[in-house]
Amino acid sequence: MRRRLFTVWGVLIGIALFLVYRGYPSSLDSWVEDRVYQRQGFADSRIVLIGIDDESIRSLGQWPWPRSVHAELLDRISSGHPAVVAFDLTFQVPSSSPGEDAAWVEAVSKAGNVVLPTYGTFPPFQKRGVVQALTLADPFDALREAAAAVGHINVMADQDQIVRRSLLRFEYKGRAVNHMAWEIYRLYATHVQDRNPSGGIRPLESPPVDEFGRFVVPFTGIPGQYEMFSYASVLRGDIPADYFADKIVMIGPYTASLQDNYVTPLDHHTPMYGVEIHANIVQALLENNEKKTVEWHWNALLLLIMGAAAYVFFRLVHPVYSLLMLAVLTALLLAGGRWLYDKGLLISIGYPLIFLGAFYLAALLLRYFYEWTERRRVTEIFGRYVAPQVVNQILSAGRDGLKLGGVRRTLTVMFVDIRGFTSLSESSEPEEIVSVVNEYLDLAARCIFRYEGTLDKFIGDAAMAIFNAPLEQEDHAFKAVQAALAIQNGAAELESKWKARLNREISFGIGIHTGPAVFGNIGSRKRMDYTAIGDTVNTAARLESRAKPGRILLSEAVYVQIEGRVAVSRSGFYQLKGKEQEIVAYEVEGLL
């Protein structure tokens, strides 16, 4: 039954988590990716940023600036022969000054290596596959034709507003629009190849993307880590133009007032400007630092393996060791995930960790549920046989305190029988007979429990009790005699009551014997009784049959255990049924 519960519980948890998973990252996945996978490195010196910062706005006036200003900046930079110049600034429509637009277009065309941005808008829900844009904010026509390339600058944040992935490309009316960082890298690779045909860098065919066309951004720099010069300082000539030779120069907002900043995995508190995010992507492309996201069905296979391992281990092993194993498996998952990430493979760690935790908690709850049901079962079974305090001792001692199936031990066995029951049955109504039997046997049971005896069974109008089982007891023979005397004293009141009602003498006869016996669950698999068997039991029953009404008859084996504490009459010899030789027995008079 316990195995079935574990199996059913494990299957249900596995199905539920598997259906929830279906390839969508959990918040735990994101946390692992941020804290374990992403690591700060060194910013690539080939990348230089020119920031439209607060100083530049104070110097050049309110944003936006005339396009002739951008043309002047581009001319100054281009004189130093940079490899690529990228503007993280949109120019969707011509301005009100055609002359300024013409100067700007001419500067872009003359440079020949300028990447300009575009921006797409998308429907709220996307199907897996190539993303389709609803609108596209391209540069105005003349500027677009002058640019060396146009790439999108859409920043894709997760639900927690942290940027971890970016869209490699999307489509708009049949046109493929690549990410600006990809276009920068492509132009830079061409520039290097032209300078050094034998030692150029080879462009990637395409970064690995997920089913939505997104690629993982392995951030290297934190906010402010890339080399940045103020737009105004470059325009003034504070930075020599030849400093930008063969570099990738990226120009964009570098102040919070322009609202182009986002939270990234390396720093959840300090936002990073959009131009810095694009710089991180460009560096990853330069270093061929690509991260392939494992397809969801491989992650699902990992989940099934972890679930099966958790099921087998947590079901069989103690919770403390299971907790240690949970910690070991967690550490192995994190270390293995980090190792694979460094090799370029991104696997889902969050759901396997959730699986492990869920299976551990399920195993723990089922274990406690099983123990609770076992306590209830033991309480229900032994609560009918023994005193409540004995049941508590059995439960506290656990399996060591309760050995079922047959245990040999020295026991004290007591039989109690109602005298006068046969004649009473012949002359009284059944309802009255039942009332008499119930009252007398209830008295016997209460007295047996009071002295920690085990009520073995009721046999018609008789009862059998054993002492020193299931738990070992000190001085069990004396406890049995005390229980018998309690029954004898309590019976006096009942005798008076029923004599007045039925005009008949009703009393007890009690026999007690101590000796070796076997006790435990005895019977068939479908029907068992907790009882004791052996010659000791038979001897106690025969002594009870020889006891006079209202008297307690002890064997010599019992008397040896209680001598000096119980007053007895002179011993006598009794021939018991089934015994070849007479035995010595004593009648109890009371406690000394």
> pLDDT for 462-471, tens place per residue?
999 999 988 8
pTM (2 d.p.): 0.63
| Rounded distance between C-alpha atoms, residue 520 and residue 529, angstroms | 8
DSSP structure string for 110-162: HH--EEEEE-EE--SS--SSS-B-SEE-PPPHHHHHHSSEEEE----B-TTSB
Lowest mean pLDDT among 136-150, 259-273, 332-346: 332-346
Amino acid code (one letter) for 126: Q
Q: For position 301, what pLDDT does the model report? A: 72
Query: What does the pLDDT average to over 323-334?
Result: 84
Tokens of 270: 């300090």
| Rounded distance between C-alpha atoms, residue 329 and residue 564, angstroms | 66
Q: For position 23, what pLDDT does the model report? A: 47
Give residue-wise pLDDT tens across range 84-135. 999 999 999 998 889 999 999 999 999 999 999 999 999 887 777 788 999 9
Residue 389 has pLDDT above 60, yes or no: no
| Rounded distance between C-alpha atoms, residue 522 and residue 531, angstroms | 7
H/E stretch holding 12 reads: helix 2-21
H/E stretch holding 492 reads: helix 476-502
Residue 588 φ/ψ, nearest 5 degrees: -85, 135
Tokens of 368: 């406690």
Is the dihedral angle over the CA atoms 45, 49, 50, 54 positive or is it negative?
negative
Residue with the bigger pLDDT between 502 and 476: it is 476
Query: What does the pLDDT average to over 212-233?
Result: 91
Give residue-wise pLDDT tens across range 13-37. 556 555 555 545 567 778 878 888 8
Give residue-wise pLDDT tens across range 242-288. 999 999 999 999 999 998 999 998 888 899 999 999 999 999 999 88
H/E stretch holding 263 reads: strand 261-264
